Structure 1
Amino acid sequence: MKDTGAGQDTDAEDTGAEDTGAQDAGAGKDTGAQEAGARCERVARQALGLTDLRPGQLAAMTALARGRDVLVVMPTGAGKSAIYQVPALLLPGPTVVVSPLIALQRDQVEALREHDEAAASLDAGTSAGRRRTTFESLRAGETEFLFCAPEQLARPDVVRDLAEVEPSLLVVDEAHLISSWGHDFRPDYLRLGSLARALGRPAIAALTATAAPPVRAEIAERLGLRDPLEIVQGFDRPNISLEVRRMLDDPAPEIVAAVREEAGPGIVYTAVRRQTCRLSGLLNEAGVRAAPYHAGLRRSERDDVHGRFMAGELDVVVATSAFGMGIDKSDVRFVLHAEVPGSPDAYYQEIGRAGRDGEAARAVLFYRPEDLGLQRYFTSAVPDLETLTRVAEAVAEAGPGSDRKALRERTGLSPRRLTLLLDLLERTGAVELGARRVGPAPGGPGPATAAELARRLAERRRDVERTRLEMMRRYAETGDCRRRFLLGYFGEQLADPCGDCDNCRAGTAGRQPEESGPFPAHARVVHRTWGAGEVVQVGEDRLTVLFDTAGYRELQLDAVLEQRLLTEAPPGSQLR
């Protein structure tokens, strides 16, 4: 229930925590922040039973309670839900939580109800009567939390009803799904920025477990976050041992042997659907209780595999990346990859499903260089000019306020495909996207020019994706500490070797050099060809730079210095 003694301190002043969450909001720069922090602590204790808040939680809660947007990157199990639940009980209107999984929504609803907090969920299976009752309860102030999938927010009637209840907080869970830089991009998330405006622009909490710097930048841009407090906590998972096994032939026999050596449940990830059935069959023949999981299975089949795994009736699930969010099983002891994933983002998200109980776990990548070709194929698609032009012409001819359904009928494209193309056209300045309507942007380029510009954007996105795959290759082939490599990719520096990866055990990992050179980690730089970027890793003889438009590039330090390839970026330059 709402904290009636909370007051309405909802301005967006500084909470006292900058970008790491390390400072307590109660030690902020002004009395308002201190008072808001004290109220958050009281509500956390009284309503949710939280007596010891984790690093970063209080700063984020305090910012939201004062109406400031936040972007929070914390591992699963680190308390992201409490970050929005506490300020939700302090702010005057209801809270809308966007979550991609129905099962996860229902779990969160039940958890809130156990604390006597009114919560409801909305999905495609919700009856008209229950939908009506839910919104009546929201309007009456009887229900605080509404959970819904992004697909529901594409419905004009849902957006209209939500706008009428005047939510004070919009929560975007799994926020990395809005980013084309991310490993699991979902077009349905693209509408959330315009949704926030349609709802009267409440405070926004963007939450995710894994997001590299470009993903964080795009989350903020696409959601339209205003001066967000960014809190990034704990990418390191020191209880997960890292290993890469270089393979010359089919890794299946090695994978079966590795699984049989492990104790406890685990996940085997593979890049293609047919491999899930093949590997699970081989594991069952070896006496391991295994089942396949991929998006091509019927929902009932996927639900059955998920349920049996969570209940301990399966030892191993062999899956594509479709087996992901919502797998909150604390005792997963190993995650094996039969092929190299498309990026360190995807890899780190997937191995992070191991060892959530804090006990020792293992992550093993079975690496064949030829498997990189499959991932390059996955990133090769670029929309053709004819289709882009057709969509741009359809928008121009329909005029302002065109209905998306009418555009789908006019172009013959699926909802997902149309959303992706409209997003590209919006970025050219040719299209304006609202929560429900689409229209031509005043003064924007014509259809033919817009299509050409959109195709160039898609080509650049593809090229950047390939640089992320190159970083995955570097991870697989490095002789240095693997944990240090992964943490550096996400913007965290580890000076000493971790001691618990195969390279550290083999003695090939060295100590990170002191950052006394001209280009330390996080320095903003400019390259004569690739433009502005940020140094993400500093090695003994090389730099890795994330360029704003060219992606990740590895540069030899000697060449950088001798040829003056990099210069310091102007003050205030930011990743875009």
Structure 2
Amino acid sequence: MFASAVGGYDRFVPDHHDHDAGPDIDAGKPALVATTEFTAPLQKAAVDVFGWEELHPRQLEAMQALMEGRDVLAVLPTGSGKSAVYQVPTLLLDGPTVIVSPLLALQRDQAHGLREAGAPAAVVVNSQQRAAELRDAWARLESGEARFVFLSPEQLAKGEVVDRLAALGVTLVVVDEAHCVSSWGHDFRPDYLRLAPAIERLGRPPVVALTATAAPPVQDDIVERLGIDGAARVVASFDRPEIRLEVSLAVTEDDKRAGVLECVTDAVGRGERGLVYTASRAATEECAAALVERGVTALAYHAGMKREERSRVHDAFLDDTVDVVVATSAFGMGIDKPDVRFVVHASLPESLDSYYQQVGRAGRDGDPATARMFYRPEDEHIQNFLTTSKPPKAALKDVATLLHVADGPLSPAEILRRAKAGRAQAQRALDLLEQAGAALPAGTGSRRGLEWSDRSVAVKAAVAVAVGLAEAHQRLTRSRVEMMRGYADTTGCRRQVLLGYFGEQLAEPCGHCDTCEKGTAAQEQPDETGPLTTGAEVEHDEWGRGVVMQVEVDRLTVLFDTVGYKTVSRAILRPGGLLELDAS
């Protein structure tokens, strides 16, 4: 029936470090990895082909599991060499590896990185290629010359593409940016929902899901939606101690703007390069222009720019011909520049997930870097506005009716073409119906597409479930904004708050964020010896089931299934339940 509710090619060896894979991804984790029959071949392949003389234990653990034919969920921080997890095993497998990547530019960069490294050939299959380029890509795959093929999830929705891949004997499927498959994730992409049936049609080869940001509930969702329940979970520490965390509170918008410009100008004056993130497209243009007036080489980047212009800015940043890129959240995935020394946020980000990903662009060479956010309490109202969207009830009824009366599967393109609602609303309605389980992949050959899951279920009932999903997601999104505000306002250790959001407990204040250095970070440590530890499941009388994400001295951060993140008091507890919301 229905559901109940709800980066680029990673350079393994930084340019100026001889045998180093970047930040210590094993901090706080057991370092020993059992030696298997695959250990020596994997290490030899890493050296012979890529010149990597050392594999981090987490990378090796994931690679060994893949070689044993197991599925893998690898949660490794930005800059830790996630791509190596599939690149090295591919050298030892008999068939090609399929890499599902969400952005066309990211696919291009990853394929280019493999070519630069001297690895076996990599090809890209996407909608922007000319017919001759596509023919060449398929010919290289079918001849065995190409061992890596990068494509988007939309390509795997095409029956003819899946059939051609299946005929090649695919030996490994990689789902990059795997948090996109989770409706709990901050960057959910509905196209990722169709990956599980596509993987089955490929003959169900081993799957490796890669992401830098996935709290435990998101990890569970990824595993369930991709159908990899028995996956080996390889999860490194989220901590990036080389990045200093700072927040500057501003009273007026003019004060905040002046602070951003001064901070960036000073950093560039010290010979540093970095990124500035803003909340809107217009703000990127305005901030970049203001920096240029101050003598800073700066360019704007946002999704409203033409693809060629975005590529020019991207390349200029990587080539060191520009000091600063001022961008919306559209700039980030696949940015593999090791010497970014600062990331400045000119406004409150939409969530701590986004914030973590964006500040993770800094310090990928392991050297000190700074992440500074400029914040006004009013910024929260902007984010609430940007993240608020009512469920498209009329479009849901329209699309649901189309599927309910159809005499066979309909392709997503055909559904959007027939829908009376506007394309954007129809697409959102279709996404919600897929999440609800009302629209399921079906059919064979040219008749592959989506169809109604159960004829006995009325359109009205399915629409009600889909509306519930949209409302639950809206509550979750708003709760993320509240958590972002809590991080900005905290007087405790910022690193403890940030790591706690991802379910990782830092035993002591870091001593390296602004609140620690000001002396305001709490020195008293929470007691994690009782039942209420990170990861514990709890019940609330009103909000239902939740998972403890962070334990503090007097409060807990809990992720509830129905309402998202909440901060609750430890003062009034009863066995098996939380009683009171902390009003502070």
Tell me, in whole angstroms, the C-alpha distance in 1 between the residues paired with 2:391 and 2:569.
Answer: 35
| 1:369 match: secondary structure | coil
Q: Which fold has the larger relative contact order, with Cα–Cα distance below 8 Å and residues 6 or more apart in sequence?
A: 2
- Correspondence for 2:89: 87
Tell me, in whole angstroms, the C-alpha distance in 2 between the residues paired with 1:446 and 1:371.
Answer: 42
Tell me, in whole angstroms, the C-alpha distance in 2 between the residues paired with 1:413 and 1:91.
Answer: 47
**Residue 241 in structure 1 maps to residue 249 in structure 2:** no
- Deviation track 1:151-205 (CA, whole Å, cap 9, x = no partner) reads 3333333222112213111101111222233333333323222221221221111
Cα displacement (A) at 1:207:
0.6
TM-aligned CA distance change 1:413 to 1:405, over 3 Å: farther
Bigger Cα displacement from structure 2, 125-134 vs 411-420? 411-420
Tell me, in whole angstroms, the C-alpha distance in 2 between the residues paired with 1:143 and 1:563.
Answer: 55
| 1:402 match: secondary structure | coil
Q: Which one of the candidate residues 551, 561, 570 is aligned to 1:548?
A: 561
Q: Which one of the candidate residues 110, 127, 130 is aligned to 2:130?
A: 127
Cα displacement (A) at 1:444:
5.3
- Deviation track 1:488-546 (CA, whole Å, cap 9, x = no partner) reads 11111111111111110110112322312341222222222222222111111111111
- Deviation track 1:240-275 (CA, whole Å, cap 9, x = no partner) reads 111111111011111111112213111111111111
TM-aligned CA distance change 1:426 to 1:125, over 3 Å: closer
- Correspondence for 1:406: 414
The normalised TM-score by structure 1 is 0.89
TM-aligned CA distance change 1:116 to 1:551, over 3 Å: closer
Tell me, in whole angstroms, the C-alpha distance in 2 between the residues paired with 1:94 and 1:566.
Answer: 54
- Deviation track 1:434-455 (CA, whole Å, cap 9, x = no partner) reads 5941011135521111111110
| 1:558 match: secondary structure | coil
Tell me, in whole angstroms, the C-alpha distance in 2 between the residues paired with 1:64 and 1:563.
Answer: 39
Cα displacement (A) at 1:564:
5.2
Q: Which one of the candidate residues 258, 261, 265 is aligned to 1:256?
A: 261
- Correspondence for 2:350: 342
- Correspondence for 1:487: 499
**Residue 377 in structure 1 maps to residue 389 in structure 2:** no
The normalised TM-score by structure 2 is 0.88
- Correspondence for 1:42: 44
Tell me, in whole angstroms, the C-alpha distance in 2 between the residues paired with 1:52 and 1:69.
Answer: 23
TM-aligned CA distance change 1:126 to 1:563, over 3 Å: closer
Identity of aligned residues (%): 48
What residue identity is the alignment partner of 2:134? R
- Correspondence for 1:560: 573
- Correspondence for 1:61: 63
Cα displacement (A) at 1:470:
1.0
Q: Which one of the candidate residues 265, 274, 283 is aligned to 2:273?
A: 265
Bigger Cα displacement from structure 2, 374-383 vs 85-94? 85-94
Is the Cα contact below 8 Å between 1:56 and 1:233 reproduced in 2? yes
Structure 1 gaps, min length 5 = 1-19, 28-33, 568-576
Tell me, in whole angstroms, the C-alpha distance in 2 between the residues paired with 1:414 and 1:143.
Answer: 41
**Residue 476 in structure 1 maps to residue 495 in structure 2:** no
Is the Cα contact below 8 Å between 1:65 and 1:88 reproduced in 2? no
Is the Cα contact below 8 Å between 1:68 and 1:226 reproduced in 2? no
Tell me, in whole angstroms, the C-alpha distance in 2 between the residues paired with 1:415 and 1:212.
Answer: 33
Cα displacement (A) at 1:295:
0.7
Is the Cα contact below 8 Å between 1:330 and 1:357 reproduced in 2? yes
Is the Cα contact below 8 Å between 1:536 and 1:546 reproduced in 2? yes
- Correspondence for 2:315: 307
Q: Which one of the candidate residues 273, 278, 286 is aligned to 2:286?
A: 278
TM-aligned CA distance change 1:413 to 1:57, over 3 Å: farther
Q: CA RMSD in A?
A: 2.3
Is the Cα contact below 8 Å between 1:23 and 1:59 reproduced in 2? no
What residue identity is the alignment partner of 1:501? C
Bigger Cα displacement from structure 2, 361-370 vs 36-45? 36-45
- Deviation track 1:265-292 (CA, whole Å, cap 9, x = no partner) reads 1111111111111111211112212121
Cα displacement (A) at 1:566:
6.5
- Correspondence for 1:387: 395
TM-aligned CA distance change 1:26 to 1:403, over 3 Å: same
Aligned residue runs from structure 1 range 132-531, under 5 A: 132-250=135-253, 251-262=256-267, 263=270, 264-412=272-420, 417-434=425-442, 436-442=448-454, 445-511=457-523, 512-531=525-544
Q: How many residues align?
A: 542
Tell me, in whole angstroms, the C-alpha distance in 1 between the residues paired with 2:326 and 2:82.
Answer: 28
Tell me, in whole angstroms, the C-alpha distance in 1 between the residues paired with 2:37 and 2:274.
Answer: 46
Tell me, in whole angstroms, the C-alpha distance in 1 between the residues paired with 2:42 and 2:456.
Answer: 46
Is the Cα contact below 8 Å between 1:69 and 1:203 reproduced in 2? yes
What residue identity is the alignment partner of 2:468? R
Is the Cα contact below 8 Å between 1:399 and 1:440 reproduced in 2? no
Structure 2 gaps, min length 5 = 1-27
Tell me, in whole angstroms, the C-alpha distance in 1 between the residues paired with 2:222 and 2:422.
Answer: 25
Tell me, in whole angstroms, the C-alpha distance in 1 between the residues paired with 2:348 and 2:156.
Answer: 35
| 1:129 match: secondary structure | helix
Is the Cα contact below 8 Å between 1:188 and 1:419 reproduced in 2? no
- Correspondence for 1:5: none
Is the Cα contact below 8 Å between 2:343 and 2:358 reproduced in 1? yes
- Correspondence for 1:100: 102
